[in-house]
Structure 1
Amino acid sequence: MKGNPIRSERPMRIVCIGAGASGLCFAYKLQRSFHNFNLTIYEKNANVGGVWFNNRYPGCECDYEAHNYTYSFEPKADYSRVYASSTEIHGYFEDFARKYGLHRYCKFGHRILSADWQDDLGVWRIEGEDQNGGTIKAECDILINATGILSSCKWPDIVGLDQFQGVTMHSGAWNESIDLTGKKVCLIGNGSSGQQILKSIQPLVSQLTVVIRQPTWIFGPFGEPQREYSNEEIQNFKNHPTSLTTKRKQFESRVNSYFEFCLKDSPQQKQIRGHLIHQIQGKLAAAGSTKLDESAVIPSYGVGCRRPTPGVGYIEALTSPNVTLVVGHVNKITATGIIDNANVGHKADILICATGFDTSYQPPFPIRGVNGKNLQDEWRERASGYLALAVPDMPNYFVFYGPNNPFASGAFLITIEAQADYMLKMCNRWQTENIHAFSPKKEAVEELQLYLDTQVAKTVWSDTCNSWYKPKGNAVPASLWPGSGLHYMEAISDVRYEDYSIRYKGSRFAWLGNGLSQVETDPECDLAYYIRERDDGTYLGQRKRLQVATAGTRLKPESLHVFGPRPLNEDAV
């Protein structure tokens, strides 16, 4: 580096594991802003899309308005309906990858089996296998884990699961060749997937037994009701992009105003609870059924402790004549069905487990860092990282949506963008300085975890409920960011380098180079670029920067109301 201009870019090799929303976002941003890099994305599936490639169960759709389930900078004007199907969302990511040439970085059908840090060389050694059983061996300077927390199906731990002689399926690995028409089906689970499956298959099957551990809060549509967009609307979005931007900003502003209802005993929590009870009771009355008790559909825990669901058509399906609801658990699975916790048997031809994913944050393969520490072991009892991004003793390593992420309070794809920006700031320092290794300090992570635990105790996520936010149950605090999504994005907008342990190769000042600036060596650069007519530079104070970046017209308070088509009012409480 000493023989080159200041901050010259050395070659940078990056391996990213996973070509879902996170991996694609990282690849796009890396390609947009960097030179002199080599990127390889290893993806176990046959195409991009991650969770939206895998999930194909009946009724699978996003419960976030489709126009807002996009990257902030990449709208999709031709979404066909308010809440897009998994197929349409997968198409969005496939189109995104094709538009920006991201497939060139991807190796599909490649499963990583291990990653080992070589401290003397300052590199990660990756091993795996391809779809033909061949061996993968690679080295990289920086390792990005973009496998996600909704990628490994979690099967229920029930005695006799392997003894069932009918068809067994998981919502995250659906067998599309199975015809459910006229079959007796047992469905375990009532999260978003379980409710969508229930609504879709209830009219098809002859008998449906639904098993739930506890009720979940039903919100109704998280935005406007589901409907198809007209051709006129789609053309308007295409021809007048500002109209689509306005729509997206209105929805996002509403969502970003909801965090206070996540605080225990807050007026907002009381208000939303009353509103939802009122709504659910209305649905029960409209269904006109006496077979469903309120306790089966109205939770006792705070709104938000477990992820709320839209629940459109859920109560109507539960009250159908061919549906039997079991509130409790499955004691045993037999060759021909299940036995519930009241020792009642239920026959089934097909068993569907809508039981979610392994959200313990333990990586699906060994990741061994300093002194061979395996992240699988380090996170066996409890996962703890730095700002949901990095881990002590795991040098030059980042993870998307690691422990203590804002999954319950932030817009998923927008947070991914913020995390990718953070990672690339560190990549820039690695590439333009002679850094050997960087990782967050253990004491910084321990102090951060103590703060987060203290804060999460003030939220509804500390209530007693069965939630995938709590992979180890209620004995361990929920693994969530105890603030809003906007709060999290602001927290990671700048890198606190003092929280990192940084080691260099040789002199830490070798990056100063040969005395020339980058500008002097580029024939296209203006050697007097700093001369200007007015001060239009970046503001240096955090608050001033935010004021400029976020300047606009905020929605009126009455527009920032609870999910659903009508605002809260006193008679709804």
Structure 2
Amino acid sequence: MPSYERADKPIHEPRQLKVICIGAGASGLLLAYKLQRSFEKFELTVYEKNEDISGTWLENNYPGCACDVPAHAYTFSFEPNPNWSSVYAGSKEIRQYFVSFSAKYELSKYIKLCHRVSKAVWDEIKGVWDVEVTNLADGTVIRDSCNMLVNATGILNTWRWPAIPGLQDYKGTCLHTANWDESVDLTGKHVGLIGNGSSAIQVLPAILPIVDKVTSFIRSPTWVSPVRALESRMYTEEERAKFANDPQALLNYRKELETGTNEIYPLFISDSAAQKATFESMSAIMKEKLQREDLENLVIPTWPVGCRRLTPGVNYLESLGSSQVEVVYGEIQKITEKGCVSNGQEYPVDILICATGFDTSFKPRFSVIGSKGKNLADVWNIEPKCYLGFAVPDFPNYFTICGPGSPSGNGPFLIAVEAQADYMLKMMNRWQTENIHSFSPKAEAVEDFIAFRDEYMKKTVWSGGCRSWYKNNTVSGKVIALWPGSTMHHLEALAEPRYEDWNFKYVGNRFAFLGNGFSQAESDKTADHAYYIRNGDDGPLISRVKQIKVTSKSGTVSRRNSGDAIVF
């Protein structure tokens, strides 16, 4: 809306806002919900490449695929699910949570399935993103545009085959955990399993009862244990009935789980009392489950607990020690027609399962051309640099949910997604109600954030000697994926936008939003035109310190000694 069009409008009159979101997984659905809840005069299109919604929980359906945190701690903060069947719910059940969420809030009207975004180019003159989309059903190309572009395609989305010579020569059936073929029957087969990350840890105990043998190829140790002593189990009918009929009981249980997840954070600090105590207790737990000294030396790490993402390995360690399982430790030199060669020996297998992860470079899956004509993939070729995990200099009106520098392994994940979505909507609100052409974070602000993050990471276990996707699958590279602090720290950091960190470009006079001198309240004849008069001061507290003390109910909870071992 040009400045002259605001002259006869009340202050902060909203103009039409058009948003394109890429991806209808958890973060895309959340953005749609929040935009619908808080905004008027908006248009939203969510382009989803798959045939249905829910992202990773649609794509991942390998045996044993489940949440690696308690399911009641894997919901939106405002949307509980009393019907979880078990502590670590399976992928199909988690997917149903997001499908039900979409149905409850009627989000499907925004979503176009089987549509893949292939290119987005910023038009500086018009102040819009021109977006190219392919309809995968018929191959036609659609041209669209928007004021705000949100990349919600996720981190662990583009799966990859292992970079092992000869993979294409293998004559047996080759599967990837993120592209599972449910028609393949593993019954009575000799299966090769490459990897011991989160997916492999879930696959092994799930397939062991039906296969004849598993040869597990492991190239490095990893910490494995159920978290906070919550072994996988089914909830009883009585528990589920209580959760469904007593919202306060469910809330108390959810808060207990969330508190436990948040209180793990001290172990991520190198040489902390919590890290040292947890290292000893985790080692003892793993030895007890393995019951084999030869495997202990291969599987139990010497690097800090939490250097890689913690994974609850329900029955994994016990399965690893089974007589049905052969553990081959070391790099795979090559793959032959029959199987894998490691340490100079060939290991023939009937079926080869690659639990080898994803492309974690953070480069967008489509071409994103910013204000200076540069492709974001090229800009991020050496290192992906992001403002607080979700915005990029010279890419105006563009957001990426959970980009590099986000708390994807620091604590509760979906809560962090909510915080980023709220921040983005605050920026969109300013654009919609002021005379703003575009905005993007200042390059110097991003460099300062990166410098702070890099210095902070030196004191964390994430910089330890493990191979991790936090470091783009390197052992000694920079920790680029994570936020420099806890998830709760992230919530407070993003509670209020730091507008001084942003470059704003205006259309005409920046104060044109002041309009005709009347307020929004005065333009609403049904509103209370003396709403600010009250019997007492119940307004929000101004200082951040007092705000968070009220929000967090300071003084109502006693805490354990922070130097204790984290309970697993």
Q: Above 0.5 in TM-score? A: yes
Per-residue deviation at 1:225? Answer: 1.7
Report the counterpart of residue 210 of structure 2 in structure 1: 204
Per-residue deviation at 1:200? Answer: 0.8
Per-residue deviation at 1:475? Answer: 4.2
Report the counterpart of residue 341 of structure 2 in structure 1: 339
Report the counterpart of residue 224 of structure 1 in structure 2: 230
**Helix, strand or coil for the counterpart of 1:338?**
strand
Report the counterpart of residue 91 of structure 1 in structure 2: 96
Q: Quick one: which amino acid aligns to residue 354 of structure 1?
A: A
Matches within 5 A, 1:111-260: 111-131=116-136, 132-222=138-228, 224-260=230-266
After superposing the two structures, state which structure 1 stretch, 230-239 or 443-452, moved more.
230-239
Within the candidate set 494, 497, 501, 1:495 is matched to: 497
Per-residue deviation at 1:307? Answer: 1.2
Structure 1 pair 472–218 and aligned structure 2 pair: CA distance change class (3 A): closer
Per-residue deviation at 1:404? Answer: 1.0
Matches within 5 A, 1:9-20: 9-20=14-25
Q: Does 2:112 match 1:107?
A: yes
Per-residue deviation at 1:434? Answer: 1.1
Unaligned runs of 5+ in 2: 1-5
Report the counterpart of residue 387 of structure 1 in structure 2: 388
Determine if contact 2:463/2:476 at 8 Å carries over to the other structure. Answer: no
**Separation in 2, partners of 1:425, 1:223:** 39
Residue by residue over 1:223-257, the C-alpha shift from the partner in whole angstroms, topping out at 9 and shown as x without a partner, is: 52221112221111111100010011111111111
Per-residue deviation at 1:322? Answer: 2.1
TM-score normalized with structure 2 length: 0.96
Report the counterpart of residue 329 of structure 2 in structure 1: 327
Matches within 5 A, 1:290-309: 292-309=294-311
Determine if contact 1:221/1:312 at 8 Å carries over to the other structure. Answer: no
Determine if contact 1:77/1:237 at 8 Å carries over to the other structure. Answer: yes
Report the counterpart of residue 570 of structure 1 in structure 2: none
Structure 1 pair 42–180 and aligned structure 2 pair: CA distance change class (3 A): same
After superposing the two structures, state which structure 1 stretch, 234-243 or 470-479, moved more.
470-479
**Helix, strand or coil for the counterpart of 1:345?**
strand
Residue by residue over 1:63-83, the C-alpha shift from the partner in whole angstroms, topping out at 9 and shown as x without a partner, is: 211111100000011111111
Report the counterpart of residue 571 of structure 1 in structure 2: none
Report the counterpart of residue 355 of structure 2 in structure 1: 354
Per-residue deviation at 1:203? Answer: 2.1
**Helix, strand or coil for the counterpart of 1:371?**
coil
Report the counterpart of residue 273 of structure 1 in structure 2: 279
Within the candidate set 24, 27, 37, 2:29 is matched to: 24
**Separation in 1, partners of 2:562, 2:231:** 16
Q: Quick one: which amino acid aligns to residue 90 of structure 2?
A: S
Per-residue deviation at 1:293? Answer: 2.9
TM-score normalized with structure 1 length: 0.96
Determine if contact 2:388/2:406 at 8 Å carries over to the other structure. Answer: yes
Q: Does 2:428 match 1:431?
A: no
**Separation in 1, partners of 2:418, 2:484:** 20
Unaligned runs of 5+ in 1: 566-573
Per-residue deviation at 1:329? Answer: 1.5
After superposing the two structures, state which structure 1 stretch, 219-228 or 351-360, moved more.
219-228
Q: Does 2:560 match 1:557?
A: yes
**Separation in 1, partners of 2:310, 2:234:** 24
Report the counterpart of residue 3 of structure 2 in structure 1: none
**Separation in 2, partners of 1:239, 1:535:** 36
Q: Quick one: which amino acid aligns to residue 150 of structure 1?
A: L
Residue by residue over 1:123-147, the C-alpha shift from the partner in whole angstroms, topping out at 9 and shown as x without a partner, is: 0011021122111210000000000
**Separation in 1, partners of 2:346, 2:123:** 56
Q: Does 2:77 match 1:72?
A: yes
Structure 1 pair 39–561 and aligned structure 2 pair: CA distance change class (3 A): farther
What is the identity percentage for the equivalent residue pairs of Structure 1 and Structure 2?
48
Q: Does 2:496 match 1:458?
A: no
Structure 1 pair 9–118 and aligned structure 2 pair: CA distance change class (3 A): same
**Separation in 2, partners of 1:425, 1:304:** 33
Structure 1 pair 95–38 and aligned structure 2 pair: CA distance change class (3 A): same
Q: Does 2:5 match 1:3?
A: no
Q: Quick one: which amino acid aligns to residue 248 of structure 1?
A: R
**Separation in 1, partners of 2:50, 2:228:** 30
Per-residue deviation at 1:410? Answer: 2.1
| Matched residues, number | 560
**Helix, strand or coil for the counterpart of 1:197?**
helix
Per-residue deviation at 1:221? Answer: 3.5
**Separation in 2, partners of 1:178, 1:560:** 49
Structure 1 pair 19–296 and aligned structure 2 pair: CA distance change class (3 A): same
